[in-house]
Amino acid sequence: MSSRIAVRVEGVTFLYDQEPILEGIDATIYEGEFIAIIGPNGGGKSTFLKLLLGLLEPTQGRIEIFGLPPAKAGGLIGYTPQHLHHNLEMPLRVIDVVLQGRLGPWKFGFTQEDYAIAHQALQRLGIPHLASQPIAQLSGGQRQRTLIARALATQPKLLVLDEPTAAIDIQGQRHIYQLLKELSITRIVVSHDIKILLEGVDRVFYINKELYIHRNVSVDLDPSGHFCEMELLEELGRSNG
Amino acid sequence: MGEFFLLFGDTIAAALLLSILIAIAGSLMLINRSSYIAAAIAHGSYGGVGLALYLGLPILLGVGLFALLLALLLALITYRFPQRAELIIGTIWAVGMGIGILLIHLSPGYGADLMTYLFGNILLVSREDLLLLALTDGILLLAIAIFRHHFITLAYDRDFAKIRGIWVEGTHTLLILLLALAIVASVRAVGLILVVALLSIPPFIAERMSKSFFQMVLLAALFSALFMLTGLWLSYRFDLPSSATIILTAGAGFILSLRKRP
Ligand SMILES: Nc1ncnc2c1ncn2[C@@H]1O[C@H](COP(=O)(O)OP(=O)(O)O)[C@@H](O)[C@H]1O
Ligand SMILES: [Mg+2]
């Protein structure tokens, strides 16, 4: 981890229809950090990511991604959206979706290298055999892996994943957490599942309209390997650690 | 059969040229779920028929101007206000037709063959019509040769396209302009109402059988050629209006395709 800044968020507030969704958010994320974002449903996690991605504009405050305004930093970011209700009927193969990660404004076709990068991304997600599968035939978990592969195929400096494992079984989740742990780029991962805290994250952002940042969250497992999720979540939302 | 091909050389050429146009514009329309937009352009462009008659301009010019205007307006509205779009589109559609009806009423001495602009007449296509169709095919082919990945990514995941630096509003507008062009070019042959059905049916059948966008366009072209030639032959053989036989053939194909889901 370096001390160079990847993401700087200063005094950001976001209103939706006059309703504050996020308030007074300040955060600095350093290059190479692995950040987990957790918090209640509707707490503003996805909104926070969309602000970082330049898909939404802060009502107040400022965001910089590697020193650039978010709208200009898209080329540095690999993104996996939370909701998978994309055009599922579209006649696309898995590889076509992953290749979207190689697209750019002045790019009108894909090179051998693009294909190689896309295949490699599928390999890392453990689904190289699905490359020519039509997306209409994928399970929820396979679709999610495809979208993570697409994010990796952008060869990003910053990976932004919104609940990437929601549709994936426990074993698959471990595989993806392991993959995230091995990456050295900056990672911001929203998780519905606080088991992610066991997977080598550097800091935890708890977002519920406001942001609470925690370092070194210790997760106490009981003998059966469970921990009390409710208690931990409540605590994370209470104080800055 | 041979006599049929000899007698209707231009008509068959028009059907084949139309198939390419329908396959490309229809496939783009379908993956972007913009059939409502295409329908609004087509119906609203009736206002252009009225305008041309009222001012004594060539019909194609009136329809072309109107379609261009509507396409730009619809591109703007559907991009800026996607939640409200349906309501506004419905209004544009109706207002366009209203203008058409009014202006035609005010134009002296115009009567029955307005049906031609709603349903077209592929038996009466001229060499200029064929040229326009061929030109439109060329533009559409060029557009998807260059921008197919942009169109596809936009249709699949607009946010992702935006993050990748694609000019989303420009691509969205280009797509709608291409739809408008396809509609204008096919007015004389199939008319403003039939064109929407033809843009929808072959690509819809093709989509369900295709693994890639390229395959979808190819199959859609084959299906539309099949429907149009079959329709024309039925029209010739049984002396029936060709627009009706073409659309009913396509409709029958549509129903058959629903039954035979693999
Ligand atoms: N397009 C939208 N329309 C209406 N409400 C929205 C919209 N986007 C976000 N919100 C509101 O913003 C809040 C935060 O949503 P979100 O960021 O998706 O939360 P999370 O990802 O933490 O579940 C929710 O209360 C939601 O109702
Ligand atoms: Mg969310």
Q: How far is CA B136 from CA A105, A165, B22, in A?
A: 25, 46, 11
**A107 alpha carbon – ligand 2 mean position (Å):** 31
Cα Rg of chain B, angstroms: 18
Render pLDDT for A153-169 as a digit per residue (tens, 0 to 9).
Answer: 999 999 999 999 888 88
Single-letter code of the amino acid located at B130: L
Render pLDDT for B174-221 as a digit per residue (tens, 0 to 9).
Answer: 999 999 999 999 998 998 888 999 999 999 999 999 999 999 999 999
* Residue predicted with more confidence, B131 or A192: B131
Q: A103 vs B161: CB contact, 8 Å cut-off?
A: yes
Confidence category of residue B112, pLDDT binned at 50, 70, 90: very low
Q: How far is CA B96 from CA B137, B233, B258, in A?
A: 26, 34, 34
**Among candidate residues B243, B138, B252, the one with its CA nearest the CA of residue B202:** B252
Report yes or no on B217 lying in a domain: yes
* Residue predicted with more confidence, B260 or A26: A26
Say what the pTM is.
0.92
Average pLDDT of span A7-27: 96
d(CA B140, CA B146): 10
Confidence category of residue A192, pLDDT binned at 50, 70, 90: confident
Please give the backbone phi and psi of residue A35, each rounded to the nearest 5 degrees, phi first.
Answer: -110, 130
Give the three-state DSSP class for A208.
strand
- Are A128 and A108 in contact by the 8 Å Cβ rule? The answer is no
d(CA A161, CA A81): 7
Residues of A with CB under 8 A from a CB of B: 50, 53-55, 74-75, 77, 79, 81, 86-87, 89-93, 96-97, 99-101, 103-105, 107-110, 132, 134, 150, 154
**CB of A44 shorter than 6 A to ligand 1:** yes
B48 pLDDT above the threshold of 90:
yes
| C-alpha distance from A208 to closest chain B C-alpha (Å) | 24
- Token readout for B176 is 């709608």
**Among candidate residues B113, B251, B237, the one with its CA nearest the CA of residue B194:** B251
Report yes or no on B261 lying in a domain: no
| C-alpha distance from B212 to closest chain A C-alpha (Å) | 5
- Are B192 and B117 in contact by the 8 Å Cβ rule? The answer is yes
d(CA B1, CA A239): 84
Q: Where are the domains of chain A?
A: 5-85+156-236
d(CA B194, CA B231): 13
Report yes or no on B63 lying in a domain: yes
Of B156, B167, B212, the CB nearest to A100: B156
Q: B164 vs A103: CB contact, 8 Å cut-off?
A: yes
A233 pLDDT above the threshold of 80:
no
pLDDT at B84: 84
* Residue predicted with more confidence, A175 or A214: A175
Total Cβ atoms within 10 A of residue A233? 16
Q: A103 vs B149: CB contact, 8 Å cut-off?
A: yes
Buried b / exposed e across B226-260, counting CB within 10 Å, b at 16+?
Answer: bbbbbbbbbbbeeeeebbebbbebbeebbeebeee
Smallest CA–CA distance from B31 into chain A, residue: A90
The sheet with strand A60-65 has its strands ordered as A19-30, A5-16, A60-65
- Are A27 and A45 in contact by the 8 Å Cβ rule? The answer is no
- Are B189 and B231 in contact by the 8 Å Cβ rule? The answer is no
d(CA A45, CA A229): 18
pLDDT at B176: 98
CB pairs under 8 A between A and B: 87
B171 pLDDT above the threshold of 70:
yes
Q: A104 vs B164: CB contact, 8 Å cut-off?
A: yes
**Among candidate residues A194, A201, A200, the one with its CA nearest the CA of residue A236:** A194
* Residue predicted with more confidence, A167 or B159: B159
Render pLDDT for A40-76 as a digit per residue (tens, 0 to 9).
Answer: 999 999 999 999 999 999 999 999 999 999 999 999 9
Nearest ligand (C-alpha, residue A80): 2
| C-alpha distance from A55 to closest chain B C-alpha (Å) | 7
> Considering chain A, what percentage of its residues have pLDDT values greater than 70?
87
B13 pLDDT above the threshold of 60:
yes
Q: How far is CA B10 from CA B116, B135, B186, B260, in A?
A: 18, 16, 14, 34
- Token readout for A222 is 């009981």
What single DSSP character describes residue A100?
G
pLDDT at A62: 97
Residues of chain A in contact with residue B205, where contact means CB-CB under 8 angstroms, are: none
Strand partners, B136: none
- Domain extent, residue B72, equals 2-254
Q: How far is CA B57 from CA A134, B65, B217, in A?
A: 49, 11, 35
A216 pLDDT above the threshold of 50:
yes
For residue B196, give the CATH number of its domain. 1.10.3470.10
d(CA B252, CA B5): 23
| C-alpha distance from A236 to closest chain B C-alpha (Å) | 31
Residues of chain A in contact with residue B157, where contact means CB-CB under 8 angstroms, are: 81, 86, 100
Report yes or no on B201 lying in a domain: yes
Average pLDDT of span B112-121: 75
**CB of A192 shorter than 6 A to ligand 1:** no
**Ligand 1: which atom is nearest the Cα of residue A39?**
22
What single DSSP character describes residue A220?
P
pLDDT at B262: 53
Q: A108 vs B153: CB contact, 8 Å cut-off?
A: no
- Token readout for B247 is 């659309």
Would the CA dihedral through A156, A87, A52, A41 be positive or negative? negative
Q: To test the ligand 1 pocket, which listed residue (A16, A22, A38) has its Cβ within 8 A of the most ligand atoms? A: A16
Average pLDDT of span A201-224: 78
pLDDT at A221: 52
Strand partners, B117: none
What rounded mean pLDDT belongs to chain B?
92
**CB of A42 shorter than 6 A to ligand 1:** yes
Backbone dihedral region for residue A200 (phi beyond 0: left; psi -120 to 50: alpha; all else: beta): left
Cα Rg of chain A, angstroms: 18
**CB of A203 shorter than 6 A to ligand 1:** no
> Considering chain B, what percentage of its residues have pLDDT values greater than 70?
95
Q: How far is CA B186 from CA A103, A218, B17, B67, B197, in A?
A: 33, 68, 10, 12, 12
B95 pLDDT above the threshold of 90:
yes
Render pLDDT for B100-111 as a digit per residue (tens, 0 to 9).
Answer: 989 988 887 765
| C-alpha distance from B160 to closest chain A C-alpha (Å) | 7
**CB of A18 shorter than 6 A to ligand 1:** no
The sheet with strand A77-80 has its strands ordered as A77-80, A158-162, A186-190, A34-38, A203-208, A210-215
B207 reaches A (C-beta below 8 A): yes
Render pLDDT for A87-106 as a digit per residue (tens, 0 to 9).
Answer: 788 999 999 999 999 999 99
B153 reaches A (C-beta below 8 A): yes
Which of A26-30, A224-228, B249-253 comes out lowest in average pLDDT?
Answer: A224-228
Render pLDDT for A107-140 as a digit per residue (tens, 0 to 9).
Answer: 999 999 999 999 999 999 999 999 999 999 999 8
Domain count, chain B: 1
Confidence category of residue B134, pLDDT binned at 50, 70, 90: very high
pLDDT at B228: 95
- Are A219 and A197 in contact by the 8 Å Cβ rule? The answer is yes
> Considering chain A, what percentage of its residues have pLDDT values greater than 90?
72
Residues of chain A in contact with residue B212, where contact means CB-CB under 8 angstroms, are: 91-93, 96
Q: Which CATH number fits domain A5-85+156-236: 1.10.10.10, 3.40.50.300, 3.20.20.70, 3.50.50.60?
A: 3.40.50.300
